[in-house]
A and B are shown apart, each in its own frame.
Chain A
Amino acid sequence: MLKSQVLALRLLWRNWRSGEVRILAGSLVLAVAVVSCISVFTDRLESALTAQSHTFLGADRVVRSSQPIPSDWQVLADKYDLRTATKTQFASMVFAGNEMHLAAVKAVSDAYPLVGELTVSQQPFVTDKSLITVAEGGPPAGEAWVDSRLLPLLQIQLGDQIVVGEKPLTATRVIVDEPDRGSSFSAYGARLLMNEADLAATNVIQPGSRIGYGWLVAGDENNLESMLAELAPKLTSHEKVVDVESAQRGLARTLDTARKFLMLSAMISVLLAGVAIAIAARRFANRHVDQVALMKSLGAGCSSIRQLYGIQLLVLGVLASVIGLGLGVLLQEVIASGVSSILPVALAAPRWTSMLPGILTGLVCLVFFVAPPMWHLPTVPPLKILRRELAVNSVSFYWQALLGLLAMVVLVAVFSGDWWLSSSIILAMLALLLLVAVFASILLGLGQRLGRRAGSVWRLALASLQRNSRQSVVQMMVFALALMLLLSLTSLRTTLLQDWKLQLPPETPNHFLLNITPSESPQVAELMEQQNLNVQQLFPMVRARLTHINGEEPSEDIRKQAEMLRREVNLSWSDRLNSDNNVVAGEWWDHWREPGIAGVSVEAGAASDLALELGDDITFDIGGLTLEARVASIRTLKWDSMNPNFYFLLSPGALDEFSPTYLTSVYLPPEKKPFINQLLGRFPTVVVIEMDRVIAQIQAIVAQVSSGVELMLGLVLLGGFFVMWAAVGSSMEDRMQEAALLRALGSSRHRLLGSLWIEFALLGLFSGVMAAAGSEILLLSIQYWVLDIPLSFHWGIWLWGILGSALLVGTLGVLSCRKVISTPPGLMLRELS
């Protein structure tokens, strides 16, 4: 190693030991750690959740069809080295002795499921995990695996026979969980899983039977995409490729919002760390002016100084980045191990690519935040050693700020992949900083006037603020910026968590009851009331086929895009609008007046597919009878709310003559699960769809993402603390000098402490007011433009933001100056000089 490099390393070590580079190094480490942690964790989480979401499908992709899967598709899958399985689903009565029940039959090939776990047990209604095993595939030929509740319904036990169509099968296992249970609403009733080799012998599948076929595919994502691209021209209108996104819309939205939040956290932590780094670097540079002047007087040239400091910074940057990266990866491992118990799939191993943003952060911070304040050091004139008053030509503050901003835009854009978002956030902050500068000057002026009339401690504090007004304004800008970002993030996290909880609140209906006849409906309602179950509205339901729009058959174009024209749809009527429905065009029934014709409210997506407009007439065929209805309104609705929802809602009474059946949803807590058997025992034709496992899975994921969000917030808060510390520290020498002088002149300890506390608390208070205002504006903008969640006002940030800021900054200030109180003034003055 060259001598200059050894010397640079020695100087770095000495600077470290004397504490001069600690805030700088700490901020660099924090920036890299936070970004690495977020980047690696979200990458792993995203891969895991994508994999987890795939378990909702039982595969990476599923092609659903109403026709048998063509055998030549397998050739295509083999070509791309993909794994496949098939499933055939239908509802059928199953028999055991004299008992029978409508079951949701699923016949699967041996490879099923491709993704996720099929768990089974030898005991019905099992809760003991030790009795649950993971099946290595579907049931072998000749066997049937069934939902526990099918056993009492058919009055059989495991080992007994169940007849599906004409094929007797032996019930050998009960199903505890199947990965793709939630993916289809079409197969109602208790599940019966059988091998597809037995399917032909059942003789159930006849022309006209309502059968759902599924082709499950899994494998390398690129190969999958290539295969699907090649398959696409072969797909008919009967077939549809289902991916995670379309299978789980609600979850996708939650994950997307969480990703955006984490990204915002990363951005904010980089911004905070950037500010802390810039302040620390500036302080470091100021403290090193004398050292450089001395070194130059001793004969060090400009280039050797540049080399000495360049090497120090480079080594510091690389070390901080490596430590930050290690810390970030370790930290995300801690989070990962904490949440792995709730995750249904194992987290993927960290990928090198996900560490790049962390390393990039270290480099960018070094080049844009650390280098500019130090750029002038080699040009410090050696004469400064003799003439301290000599000015040093440093890179102007504005250039430094501009470079810093540029770096922030680059970093934020890299994380978000969104230049528009990053530029607008940076511009908003710039505007805030300008406003803060103006208001801070006004507040300081006001403070001085008030101070003239105040007591001596206050006068001392206000005079000090005014005397250091330039520094005070800069400090207020930094405090306000840091606080604004922290308040926004804390508040946003609360809003988000509430929004997620609202999405699937604890008592979300988790069971759907279908096929309730009009005569049964009062009794079903009564039975549920006896059980203290909160019954949702009973919706009448009629199956119908849409045949004409405005008296004409739908065009070929419409047929292509509107899948519902190829099947029956459920019609219902309701006099009140569900809370998750929202009329976006036309009028709801209380304002709709069109005598002589039924009205229909159409779901917005369906209206768009069918090219329907308000006032259009549509004709439905209901079991050979015709129903005409006029489009009265268009609604948006949340399909993921777990409430019964319909594409077509008719005006009250419109369906009276079509003998509807009824549908409702109910929340059943786990301990009331056996109620289903009681209900089905009394009303055997009622169909129950169990969504509880799917909901529990989604809630677990939301809870886990929430805890990730909380942890990130903790890290960002730490970043904010660094900024505050750095900013308080930046003025400490001047303030300590003043305080030491005042002590020497006889000022009491009490008075000095009081004045220091007031001085910093006022700085904090003013900053808090501006931060709260900025934060409110930023939050409303983010809610509206970025996260697309309802707007809400945030009282908390005004109260806690202002009070907390005054307390925090006041305390930090006093703690930083405590030495001046505890050290004899003479000694203090000598040390400071």
Chain B
Amino acid sequence: MLEAQTLSKQVTTAAGTLTILNEVSLCVKAGDSLAITGSSGSGKSTLLGILAGLDEPSSGQVKLHQHEITALNEERRAKVRADHVGFVFQSFQLLPGLTALENVMMPLELHGVANARGKAEFFLTRVGLNGRLHHYPKQLSGGEQQRVAIARAFASEPDILFADEPTGNLDSETGAHVIDLLFELNREQGTTLVLVTHEQRLAEHCRQRIRLEGGKVIERKPCEAA
């Protein structure tokens, strides 16, 4: 489903060239889950961005669902994302002017999915928010907002879901609920899951785990070669 080979990312700053990722390779099979852990500034989010086709590496290749996305331009990468990718973000990224229902409907409408409303209602009910369909994000708690974001991600039935610190803005109890929900839906839909986290508890839910430090993979579990 997802394969990365010798990914490197350098940026030029006033102080010189900075290496953010250094020859990272990994492979995730369909339906599998991968946790990318590491301290702040270790390159986790940069790696996630490149894997999801939001960013380009300085060198290396990424193959996502048979598409070598590192060889595509942004317009075609967008098409790949539209067809195969879903996201859950640390800061939820709900649009403040839209209700919970409209937030979930948005990607469906964007992709021209028929009966976007019905589908969005189904997934919001699935995450336990059937009573909150017409609430705006500011009227929801942090946990509820993240559940809306999860509903949005799964509603478009992606092949692979990328989650960036999905519990980073939540207290531990709410975070635990969100984790349970995420993996439950993941199992139900057979989605491949790649998540970035610094929470050990969350990482342990994933079958594969890699730990980054200074842009390099310093630990890989289970220890199979990429």
Interchain CB contact under 8 A, B78 and A830: no
Q: Given known contacts A382-B54, A383-B54, is B97 in contact with A18 (CB within 8 Å)?
A: yes
**Residues of chain A within 8 A of B55, CB atoms compared:** 381, 383
Over the window 88-107 of chain A, the binary record of Cβ atoms lying under 8 Å from chain B Cβ atoms (1 yes, 0 no) is 00000000000000000000
Interchain CB contact under 8 A, B75 and A300: no
B110 is contacted by which of A14, A298, A387 (Cβ under 8 Å)? A298
Interchain CB contact under 8 A, B97 and A385: no
Interchain CB contact under 8 A, A299 and B97: no
**Residues of chain A within 8 A of B219, CB atoms compared:** none
User: Considering the chains assembled together, what is the distance between the CA atoms of A464 and B48 in angstroms?
Assistant: 38
Interchain CB contact under 8 A, B87 and A300: no
Q: Given known contacts A297-B87, A386-B89, A387-B45, is B96 in contact with A18 (CB within 8 Å)?
A: yes
Interchain CB contact under 8 A, B102 and A383: no
Q: Given known contacts A15-B97, A385-B87, is B107 in contact with A298 (CB within 8 Å)?
A: yes
- Output the nearest chain A residue to B95 by Cβ-Cβ distance: A291
- Interface residue count on the A side (C-beta < 8 Å): 31
- Output the nearest chain A residue to B111 by Cβ-Cβ distance: A299
**Residues of chain B within 8 A of A387, CB atoms compared:** 45, 49
User: Considering the chains assembled together, what is the distance between the CA atoms of A290 and B82 in angstroms?
Assistant: 18
Interchain CB contact under 8 A, B83 and A299: yes
Interchain CB contact under 8 A, A300 and B54: no
Interchain CB contact under 8 A, A386 and B164: yes
User: Considering the chains assembled together, what is the distance between the CA atoms of A756 and B47 in angstroms?
Assistant: 44
Interchain CB contact under 8 A, A10 and B109: yes
Interface residues of A in 783-833 (CB under 8 A from B): 830-831
B55 to chain A, nearest CB (A): 5
Q: Given known contacts A14-B102, A299-B83, A303-B75, is B110 in contact with A386 (CB within 8 Å)?
A: no
B112 is contacted by which of A3, A294, A381, A386 (Cβ under 8 Å)? A3
**Residues of chain B within 8 A of A44, CB atoms compared:** none
A381 to chain B, nearest CB (A): 8
Q: Given known contacts A299-B83, A382-B54, A386-B48, is B78 in contact with A294 (CB within 8 Å)?
A: no
Q: B67: CB under 8 A from chain A?
A: no
User: Considering the chains assembled together, what is the distance between the CA atoms of A20 and B102 in angstroms?
Assistant: 16
B40 to chain A, nearest CB (A): 13
Interchain CB contact under 8 A, B98 and A386: no
- Output the nearest chain A residue to B113 by Cβ-Cβ distance: A3
Q: A296: CB under 8 A from chain B?
A: yes
**Residues of chain B within 8 A of A3, CB atoms compared:** 109, 112
**Residues of chain A within 8 A of B89, CB atoms compared:** 385-386
Q: A250: CB under 8 A from chain B?
A: no
Q: A672: CB under 8 A from chain B?
A: no
Interchain CB contact under 8 A, A299 and B79: yes
Over the window 1-45 of chain A, the binary record of Cβ atoms lying under 8 Å from chain B Cβ atoms (1 yes, 0 no) is 001100100100011011110000000000000000000000000
**Residues of chain A within 8 A of B74, CB atoms compared:** 301-302, 382
Q: Given known contacts A301-B79, A383-B54, A831-B138, is B110 in contact with A295 (CB within 8 Å)?
A: yes
**Residues of chain A within 8 A of B110, CB atoms compared:** 7, 295, 298-300, 304
- Counting chain A CB atoms within 10 Å of each CB, the highest count among B45, B54, B79, B87 belongs to B54
Over the window 180-221 of chain B, the binary record of Cβ atoms lying under 8 Å from chain A Cβ atoms (1 yes, 0 no) is 000000000000000000000000000000000000000000
**Residues of chain A within 8 A of B109, CB atoms compared:** 3, 7, 10
**Residues of chain B within 8 A of A4, CB atoms compared:** 112
**Residues of chain A within 8 A of B45, CB atoms compared:** 386-387
Interface residues of A in 275-326 (CB under 8 A from B): 290-291, 294-304
**Residues of chain B within 8 A of A383, CB atoms compared:** 49, 54-55
Q: B33: CB under 8 A from chain A?
A: no
**Residues of chain A within 8 A of B4, CB atoms compared:** none
B82 is contacted by which of A19, A20, A299 (Cβ under 8 Å)? A299
- Counting chain A CB atoms within 10 Å of each CB, the highest count among B45, B95, B110 belongs to B110
User: Considering the chains assembled together, what is the distance between the CA atoms of A648 and B85 in angstroms?
Assistant: 96
**Residues of chain A within 8 A of B85, CB atoms compared:** 299
Q: Given known contacts A300-B82, A386-B164, is B54 in contact with A294 (CB within 8 Å)?
A: no
- Counting chain B CB atoms within 10 Å of each CB, the highest count among A7, A10, A297, A381 belongs to A297
Q: Given known contacts A290-B93, A386-B54, is B79 in contact with A14 (CB within 8 Å)?
A: no
Q: B127: CB under 8 A from chain A?
A: no
Q: Given known contacts A7-B109, A299-B85, A386-B45, is B97 in contact with A17 (CB within 8 Å)?
A: yes
Interchain CB contact under 8 A, B97 and A294: no
A382 to chain B, nearest CB (A): 5
B172 to chain A, nearest CB (A): 19
Q: B179: CB under 8 A from chain A?
A: no
Q: B24: CB under 8 A from chain A?
A: no
**Residues of chain A within 8 A of B156, CB atoms compared:** 298
Over the window 369-408 of chain A, the binary record of Cβ atoms lying under 8 Å from chain B Cβ atoms (1 yes, 0 no) is 0000000000001110111000000000000000000000
- Counting chain B CB atoms within 10 Å of each CB, the highest count among A385, A387, A830 belongs to A385
Interface residues of B in 56-85 (CB under 8 A from A): 74-75, 78-83, 85
A580 to chain B, nearest CB (A): 65
**Residues of chain A within 8 A of B133, CB atoms compared:** none
- Output the nearest chain B residue to A6 by Cβ-Cβ distance: B109
**Residues of chain B within 8 A of A299, CB atoms compared:** 78-83, 85, 107, 110-111
Q: B1: CB under 8 A from chain A?
A: no
B7 to chain A, nearest CB (A): 15
- Counting chain A CB atoms within 10 Å of each CB, the highest count among B55, B89, B96, B106 belongs to B106
**Residues of chain B within 8 A of A17, CB atoms compared:** 97
**Residues of chain B within 8 A of A385, CB atoms compared:** 54, 87, 89, 93
Interface residues of B in 87-142 (CB under 8 A from A): 87, 89, 93, 95-98, 102, 106-107, 109-112, 138
User: Considering the chains assembled together, what is the distance between the CA atoms of A294 and B102 in angstroms?
Assistant: 14
User: Considering the chains assembled together, what is the distance between the CA atoms of A385 and B92 in angstroms?
Assistant: 10
- Output the nearest chain B residue to A308 by Cβ-Cβ distance: B110
Interchain CB contact under 8 A, A300 and B78: yes
**Residues of chain A within 8 A of B79, CB atoms compared:** 299, 301
User: Considering the chains assembled together, what is the distance between the CA atoms of A299 and B107 in angstroms?
Assistant: 8
B31 to chain A, nearest CB (A): 21
User: Considering the chains assembled together, what is the distance between the CA atoms of A643 and B48 in angstroms?
Assistant: 90
Interchain CB contact under 8 A, B81 and A298: yes
- Output the nearest chain B residue to A384 by Cβ-Cβ distance: B54
B78 is contacted by which of A20, A291, A296, A386 (Cβ under 8 Å)? A296
- Output the nearest chain A residue to B84 by Cβ-Cβ distance: A299
User: Considering the chains assembled together, what is the distance between the CA atoms of A291 and B102 in angstroms?
Assistant: 13
Q: Given known contacts A18-B97, A291-B95, A386-B48, is B54 in contact with A297 (CB within 8 Å)?
A: yes
Over the window 135-159 of chain B, the binary record of Cβ atoms lying under 8 Å from chain A Cβ atoms (1 yes, 0 no) is 0001000000000000000001000
User: Considering the chains assembled together, what is the distance between the CA atoms of A304 and B79 in angstroms?
Assistant: 11
**Residues of chain A within 8 A of B112, CB atoms compared:** 3-4
User: Considering the chains assembled together, what is the distance between the CA atoms of A15 and B156 in angstroms?
Assistant: 23
**Residues of chain B within 8 A of A296, CB atoms compared:** 78
A304 to chain B, nearest CB (A): 8
Q: Given known contacts A18-B96, A291-B95, A299-B111, is B78 in contact with A382 (CB within 8 Å)?
A: yes
- What would be 22 A-B contacts, judged by CB atoms less than 8 Å apart? A20-B97, A290-B95, A294-B95, A297-B54, A298-B81, A298-B107, A298-B110, A299-B80, A299-B81, A299-B82, A299-B107, A301-B74, A301-B75, A381-B55, A382-B54, A382-B81, A383-B54, A385-B87, A386-B89, A386-B164, A387-B45, A387-B49
Give me the 8 closest cross-chain CB pairs, A-B, nearest first: A299-B82, A18-B97, A299-B81, A301-B78, A298-B107, A383-B54, A3-B112, A382-B54
Given contacts A295-B110, A299-B82, A300-B110, 5 further A-B contacts (CB under 8 A): A14-B98, A301-B79, A381-B55, A382-B78, A387-B49
Residues on B lying within 8 angstroms of A by beta carbon are: 45, 48-49, 52, 54-55, 74-75, 78-83, 85, 87, 89, 93, 95-98, 102, 106-107, 109-112, 138, 156, 164
